[in-house]
Every structure is written in C-alpha cells, then in structure tokens.
Structure 1
Amino acid sequence: MGTVVSIDVRTPLPPPALDAAIETAVAVLHQADEDFSTFRPESWVSRLRRGEVDLADCPEHVREVYRLAGRCRDATGGWFDPAWRRDGTLDPTGLVKGWAADAASAALIEAGAPDHCVNAAGDLRIRGAAGPSAEGSSAEGSGSGKPWRIGIVDPFDRGGLVAVVEGTDLAVATSGIAERGSHVVDPSTGVPASGLASVTVVGSDLTVADAYATAALAAGSDTGDLLAEFTRAGWAWLTVTTTGRIRAGKAFPGQLAAGRQQLGMPAL
C-alpha cells in the first residue's frame, strides 16, 4: 500500500504469544497489500482495472471491500467514489488502508491481544486499554483501564498537534494534503482537493472513517452539509482549513491544543 503500519500491543503476554499475535496481524496486512495494492500488477485491484477478471471472480473479502466502497459513495453523495480516477475503472484505495488496519486489529483480538493500537500511517484502530487503571490490570481487554491518547498532527507543523483524542475503543482516520500533497481529488472533476488541510473522523469502524475523511477532504470548502450528515450518523470530526482555522463537532472525543484555543478558533 506504499505506507508504513505500526502495531502497539499493551496486553501482558508471554513473549512467544506476543510474537505470534503480531506475526498474525502482519500476515493480514501483507495479504491486504497483495490483494489491493495498485503498485502490484498481480493484485486483484490491478487485474480488475485491466479487465482481466470480473469482480465475481474475486475472493469474498475483495468483493466486500468493493461493496463497502459503493456504500460509502452513496452515504457521502459521491464525495467518496471508487471511480475517482475517471477512466472507467474502480479503485477503492480511499478506504483500503482503514480496512486493512481493522482486519489486523481483529486478528490481534483473535490471537489474545485485545489491548492494542494499529496505526496505518495516521489511520488508527485502538482497542482495549493503553495500560492498567489505578485499580488493577486491563489484561482482559475490557476497556476499563487507562485510555489511549491519540495526537492529531498539525498539518502546518509536523512536530505539533491540533488536538488529542482519548478513548479505549475507537477508529481515528485523518486525511490531509500537507504531507503527500494533493493526492485526494474531487471525484466529479478530477481537480485536487482544496479548502481543507486535513480532516479527522472518529467512530467505531476504521474502514468507514477512512472513507469519510477522504470524502470530507475532497469536498473542501463545500464540506458543511457532509459534516452535518456525519454528525447525525454519530460520527465525530475535526477539520483544519488551508488558512489554519480549526473546527470540531460537538461530539469530538478530545481536546483542541491549548494554543489553538487561545486563538479563538471555534469548536462547533
């Protein structure tokens, strides 16, 4: 997928069990790369785009990713669209990273490591607790221990933060233009996204959060109605405009950086 994924396991496990759990999650990630990478000519996505196979020929998990992409297209009014390349082919790249991290997280739970964070280049799936609470251990992964603290990077200062999200079972997806340039486009025009420097979406499903963050970034200055719909659907969000203005939904599970709050930038 042309990116880096990190895995942080906090469940206390014997070293052999810990190694086995991480190896299982890494295998899931490598399989996702083999199946969905546009950089691999033999991947299912590449073969589909060349017309060598039909979607019906693909494994069920590949078909499911394409179904999810279609649902996200409908839910965002087309701002997320697997047909974004505008060449007649479908490419679900905008949500595959989140899907892969979700799948790796599920593999860790199955392997007995319920307290963990999977970070796919800024799209994070956090589960369980970051550490034991004052009262005792979080080894059972109940989420009753110390919450994870996830920093949202300032798109204009990679060493700074615009907010910190806290939780024990969350999906946090951020899409931005500062680090990789204008890699997200308006699907209807093919014009690079503008108006927003970054979008963070928080909820319970990283696949959908990844797609929604991509959609909101593509919508740019027209994102108001889309963000309102996210709020009604139970999703939290935070945006940073290209002029540095920060906005956050009322349900955003964290705090804006103190310096930003002092500038009078609204949390809506």
Structure 2
Amino acid sequence: MGLRRVEQIMGTAISLEIAGTVPDDEAARLADEVYAWMRLVDDTFSTYKENSEVSRLHAGQLTASGAGEDLRHVLAVCADLWAETDGYFDVYATGRLDPSGYVKGWAVQVASDRLMAAGATDHSLNAGGDVRVHGHAPTGGPWRIGVRHPWDPAAVCFVLAGSDLGIATSGTYERGQHVIDPRGGGAASGLRSVTVTGPDLGRADAFATAAVAMGAAGLDWLATLPDGYESAVVTDDGRFFRSEGLPEHAG
C-alpha cells in the first residue's frame, strides 16, 4: 500500500507520499483533497493572478475586512512575524502585498495537519522545498529529506531526517536575488541558502526568508530562534553553518 503523486501548482512541483496502512482508495481521496487545497491557496494568494484576493486587495478592489478567513488569518500572522523578525519579514518589501514567504509553508502545514486528522499519520508533502513529514517512511524509519546544493542543482548539500518535522529553505540560487532587504530596499545578499526546521512550517518559512533578507547579520539572528527551531546556512562565499540541534541524517 501507499501513494505517490506529483502535481504542478504555484509554479512548482508539489509531491505527496502517503505511506502506512491507509487503503489505496482512501489515500487517493486524501491526495485529491490536498491538491484541491493547494489550488485554492494559489487562487487566493497568487500575486500573478489578477482575480486572486491578494491581487484584488493590493489593487484596492477588496478591503482586508472583506477578505476571506484564510487571507485575514495570514495577514494577522504576517503582522506578528514582522514584529518578531524586527521588520525583516515584510510582506510589502517588494512594494506590493506579497505574503508568499509565509503562505506556501503555511499551506503545506495545514495540508499535513489535515492528513494527520484523517488518519494518514505517515506522510511527506513537499512544495518546492517547503517540506512537512510525519510518521514513518515506507522503509519503516524516519523520512529523509535532501536539501539542494546551492550551486549544483543535481546534488544535495545535506540530508535531514525526522518523523515530525517542517523544513523550509530560502535562498538566491533558484530565482536569483529575489529576497528584498526591506531596510536597504535592494536585493539581499550575503546568505545564499538558509534552511530552518521546526514544528510549524509556515513560521519556519518566514524565519528562513527573514534571515536571507538580513544578509550576514542573519547568522547571529538565527541563533535566537524560538525553541524547537534549528537552522543551516550557506553563505555567498561558500561557508557552511549549522545549529547544534539540526536533525541531520547521520548515515
């Protein structure tokens, strides 16, 4: 038994694997629900779709109070994250409303929580590097997740392992220097790749984005993350740093 499926949503490959004892027909139904949710999130939060709630809010065609529950929730959390990151996680850093640095991780976290509630306790969901794993892999051991090497797309930089873990990676290697330093106003530099692990993938996603925006100062800031969150960094000049509790695979 088990299910593996990949679909293209949000401009990236979203892969789902459900292991364990979930019957095939139930696994297929749950997968349909996961991908329907991810498409709904894309339709709501995309900055590329003119009719998304985010685009309509930015254009003044929608008020925050008139937005749907999901958008109101995301805006409230992002406001808290702005304060928590000393303003470096800023959904207006690009000059327009763009909560993407939180939304993808949050959406994956919600989908994973729903799979858990439905009894699919052994699963892995990966949306373009935002990963949530729970339970056991088909091998019976923990899930193993390779984090892409920031200079070689065919290689991994390191491998993480866990049975209840969110993993978010932000960097400049795939889409160029797209993360903006909200204080300087220009493209952030100094950190080529930041990976944050922790119990809540949305927050991990935002923390990784904020650290990239900080540049070199992000190294010290990552050491102050809340309990349960760990980090790994590759700098622009090729140095590697990791926190002591990073759940690396030892094999």
Normalised by the size of structure 2, how large is the TM-score? 0.91
CA distance in 1, matches of 2:116, 2:110: 10
1:121 to 112, 128, 147: 128
CA distance in 2, matches of 1:17, 1:80: 39
Q: Shift of residue 225 of structure 1?
A: 3.3
Q: Shift of residue 104 of structure 1?
A: 1.6
CA distance in 1, matches of 2:250, 2:57: 43
Counterpart in the other structure of 1:54: 63
CA distance in 2, matches of 1:251, 1:191: 33
Indicate the SS of the match to 1:129.
coil
Indicate the SS of the match to 1:157.
coil
1:110 to 101, 117, 124: 117
CA contact (8 A) 1:28 1:107 kept: no
CA distance in 2, matches of 1:25, 1:205: 18
CA distance in 1, matches of 2:54, 2:99: 8
2:18 corresponds to 1:5:
no
Deviations 1:56-95 (A, max 9, x none): 1012121111111111111111111111123xx4321111
1:99 to 106, 113, 117: 106
Let me know the Cα RMSD of the aligned residues.
1.6
2:46 corresponds to 1:37:
yes
CA contact (8 A) 1:21 1:112 kept: no
Indicate the SS of the match to 1:81.
coil
For residues 150-165 of structure 1, what are the structure 2 equivalents within 5 Å?
150-165=145-160
CA contact (8 A) 2:149 2:156 kept: yes
Counterpart in the other structure of 2:174: 179
Q: Shift of residue 7 of structure 1?
A: 0.6
| Cα pair distance change 1:150/1:41, threshold 3 Å | same
Counterpart in the other structure of 2:229: 235
Return the letter of the residue paired with 1:254. Answer: E
Unaligned runs of 5+ in 1: 134-145, 258-268
CA distance in 2, matches of 1:2, 1:150: 21
CA distance in 1, matches of 2:65, 2:112: 27
CA distance in 1, matches of 2:191, 2:48: 27
CA distance in 1, matches of 2:219, 2:19: 38
Question: Which structure has the bigger radius of gyration?
Answer: 1
2:35 corresponds to 1:26:
yes
Q: Shift of residue 189 of structure 1?
A: 2.5
Percentage of identical aligned residues: 41
Deviations 1:89-108 (A, max 9, x none): 43211111101111221232
Q: Shift of residue 176 of structure 1?
A: 1.2
| Cα pair distance change 1:256/1:158, threshold 3 Å | farther
2:245 corresponds to 1:251:
yes
Indicate the SS of the match to 1:78.
coil
CA distance in 1, matches of 2:197, 2:172: 19
CA distance in 1, matches of 2:61, 2:243: 44
CA distance in 1, matches of 2:227, 2:121: 27
Q: Shift of residue 129 of structure 1?
A: 1.1
Unaligned runs of 5+ in 2: 1-9
| Cα pair distance change 1:158/1:132, threshold 3 Å | closer
CA contact (8 A) 2:45 2:52 kept: yes
Deviations 1:174-200 (A, max 9, x none): 011111111111012221111111000
For residues 214-229 of structure 1, what are the structure 2 equivalents within 5 Å?
214-229=209-224
Indicate the SS of the match to 1:102.
helix
Return the letter of the residue paired with 2:115. Answer: L
CA contact (8 A) 2:180 2:187 kept: yes
2:14 corresponds to 1:14:
no
